[in-house]
């Protein structure tokens, strides 16, 4: 009898303890899930590793790995016509693109930026910079520092002729033409907003000129340009596959 009583008592004690343990476990699982949700869609790309492991689809350029202090990235070779390094098997729709970029203070020889919503190397949107214009003493050149284009229908020449001053702007305050700078590009179709070096005021704010809402994403350089890229991070609103 005493043995049965003790067994029954132990079972009665264990029940609330087990329930309490189960409850705490559920709470911990929920908290872990919620903490992860805040970072969902944030992807940091090690461009150095992507280059080393052939995870870039490189068009009309050679790309080499770059290691420099806090920069793990890639360097583009210099060549005629535009070049791009697509991230393989990645599709981008809306979100925030951040990265470090370095061009050169070399007149008409440095065009560096990001291509997005691409179908191929000829059909894409891009935001790019002209570092040789950042701190130019020519006021007209300074307002040609950051540019939006939509290839093939709206290259920079067409946009400058038909919409002067709308799709290209100055970068204020201006980085050095040979220095690394940080670019943040916010894309929420059709709106594109560009920030430089943590400035709260955008350097460029435009609407896209086509109906593509997703596509390839990659690093882009223009005619006769090389360039360096590092610390790429994408925060996707909807999808980065």
- In this prediction, residue 181 carries a pLDDT of 98
Given a contact cutoff of 8 angstroms between Cβ atoms, the answer to whether 148 and 126 are in contact is yes
Query: Has residue 12 got a pLDDT over 90?
Result: no
With 60 as the cut, is the pLDDT of residue 39 above it?
Answer: no
Q: Are residues 219 and 126 in the same domain?
A: yes
pLDDT for the residue 237:
85
Establish if 99 belongs to a structural domain.
yes
Measured CA to CA, the distance from residue 41 to residue 22 in angstroms comes to 30
- What local confidence, expressed as pLDDT, does residue 238 receive? 56
| Residue 190 and residue 164 share a domain | yes
The CA-atom distances, in angstroms, between 139 and each of 26, 169, 213, 219 are 62, 11, 35, 28
pLDDT tens-digit series, residues 183-223: 999 999 999 999 999 999 999 999 999 999 999 999 999 99
Q: Could you give the percent of the chain with pLDDT greater than 70? A: 82
Q: Are residues 9 and 95 in the same domain?
A: no
CATH of the domain at 130: 2.60.120.560
Considering the domain architecture, whether residues 131 and 211 belong to the same structural domain is answered as yes
pTM of the model: 0.82
Q: Is residue 78 part of a domain?
A: yes
pLDDT confidence bin for 28, thresholds 50/70/90: very low
Helical (H) or strand (E) element with 58: strand 56-59
Is residue 241, in this structure, part of any structural domain at all?
A: no
The pLDDT value recorded for residue 27 is 42
Mean pLDDT of 94-117: 98
The helix/strand/coil state of 213 is coil
pLDDT digits (tens, 9 = 90+) for 121-144: 999 999 999 999 999 999 999 999
Whether 40 shows a pLDDT value over 60: the answer reads no
For the stretch 62-86, pLDDT in tens is: 999 999 999 999 999 999 999 999 9
Q: What percent of the chain has pLDDT over 90?
A: 80
Task: Assign residue 9 a region (left: φ > 0; alpha: ψ between -120 and 50; beta: otherwise).
Answer: alpha
User: Are the C-beta atoms of 218 and 51 separated by less than 8 Å?
Assistant: no
CB atoms within 10 A of CB 84: 25
158 within some domain: yes
Residue bearing the bigger pLDDT, 2 or 60 = 60
- Structural domain containing residue 14: 1-40
- For the chain, what is the domain count? 2
SS3 14: helix
- The answer on 78 and 17 residing in a single domain is no
- Predicted confidence band of residue 41 (pLDDT cuts 50, 70, 90): confident
Residue 141 makes CB contacts below 8 A (sequence gap 6+) with: 133
Residue 25's pLDDT band, with cuts at 50, 70 and 90, is very low
DSSP state of 154: B
* Listed ranges 6-15, 18-27, 30-39, 134-143; the one with the highest mean pLDDT: 134-143
- Residues 64 and 132 grouped into a single domain: yes
């Amino acid at each position: 009898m005493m043995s049965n009583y003790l067994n029954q008592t132990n079972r009665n004690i264990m029940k609330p303890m087990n329930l309490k343990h189960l409850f705490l476990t559920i709470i911990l699982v929920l908290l872990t899930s919620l903490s992860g949700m805040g970072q969902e869609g944030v992807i940091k790309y090690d461009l150095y590793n992507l280059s080393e492991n052939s995870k870039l689809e490189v068009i009309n350029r050679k790309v080499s790995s770059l290691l420099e202090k806090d920069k793990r990235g890639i360097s583009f070779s210099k060549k005629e016509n535009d070049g791009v390094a697509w991230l393989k098997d990645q599709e981008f729709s809306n979100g925030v693109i951040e990265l470090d970029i370095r061009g050169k203070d070399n007149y008409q020889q440095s065009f560096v930026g990001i291509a997005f919503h691409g179908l191929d190397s000829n059909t894409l949107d891009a935001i790019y910079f002209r570092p040789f214009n950042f701190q130019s003493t020519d006021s007209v050149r300074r307002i040609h520092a950051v540019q939006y284009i939509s290839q093939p229908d709206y290259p920079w020449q067409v946009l400058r002729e038909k919409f002067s001053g709308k799709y290209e702007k100055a970068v204020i305050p201006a980085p050095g033409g040979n220095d690394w700078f940080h670019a943040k590009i916010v894309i929420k179709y059709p709106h594109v907003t560009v920030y430089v070096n943590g400035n709260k005021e955008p350097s460029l704010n435009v609407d896209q000129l086509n109906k593509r809402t997703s596509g390839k994403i990659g690093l882009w350089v223009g005619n006769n340009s090389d360039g360096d890229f590092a610390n790429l991070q994408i925060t996707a609103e909807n999808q980065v596959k």
